Amino acid sequence: MRVLLAEDDAMLGDGLRAGLRQLGFQVDWVRDGGAAEREIASGDYAAAVLDLGLPVKDGIDVLQSLRQRKIGTPVLVLTARDAVPDRIRGLDLGADDYVVKPVDLHELGARLRSLVRRSHGQLQDVLRCGAVSLDPSARQVTLNGEAVPLSTREFDLLYALMLSAGRVMSREQLEQKLYSWGYEVDSNAIEVHIHHLRRKLQPELIQTVRGIGYTVARSQDSK
């Protein structure tokens, strides 16, 4: 899951980026409000962690601008401003969640997973497609109740497809969700990972829509 971190404090930002990566997130980090607004507006991110006290453009102004432009990327506001009026204002302007510094990394990760799940209309913590189940918090996939070991990229790819179950995703869309800045992506990387997933799980799990991309069926449990 690819997320954007907007935090101008170098020590805190470095710690949050490292901690979220350990929890399985792909993290891009910007340090001012102008960059935050530009990157969130790109639509490449499953969610954003937005500090309010940013240089160039305040986080509240970034949030207000994004929502006025109808950009619906889930935004978790992270700030030292713990006064109730500040929290109310942030939520009223379109924040999806609000965490006051200092924050527990595991709580932050859980809140981000919840935001992303809700934004995709998923009601359950564990995603299911037939006999395949995916637990984002444990980063575990099972087939008929038996754990199936997957690489980090295989897990992230399956997660992206199951979050958007019933929708066709192009190779470019999947690459945007899997890879943060600085990664050199082989032209056939997505195809290779899908081949491995079909071999490890079920050949029919991921369907190819010729000329468009890939999809998995929407489970009745997710409706």
Instruction: Read off the CATH number of the domain in which 93 is found.
Output: 3.40.50.2300
Specify whether 59 is located in the same domain as 79: yes
pLDDT at 81: 66
pLDDT at 178: 86
Specify whether 95 is located in the same domain as 134: no
Specify whether 12 is located in the same domain as 109: yes
Helix (H, G, I), strand (E, B) or coil at 103: coil
Distance CA 108, CA 18 (A): 13
Specify whether 83 is located in the same domain as 176: no
Specify whether 99 is located in the same domain as 12: yes
Residue numbers in the chain where pLDDT is lower than 70: 81-83, 182, 219-223
Specify whether 19 is located in the same domain as 113: yes
**What proportions of the chain, in percent to the nearest 5, are helix, strand and coil?**
40, 20, 40
Domain containing 202 equals: 127-222
Specify whether 102 is located in the same domain as 159: no
Specify whether 109 is located in the same domain as 214: no
Q: Count of domains in the chain?
A: 2
Which of 119, 146, 175 is the C-terminal boundary of a domain? 119
pLDDT at 206: 96
Whether 179 and 153 have beta carbons less than 8 Å apart is answered as no
Burial of 4 per CB tally in 10 Å (0-12, 13-18, 19+) = buried
Other beta carbons within 10 angstroms of residue 144's beta carbon come to 10
Token representation of residue 133: 């189940």
Which of 99, 119, 139 is the C-terminal boundary of a domain? 119
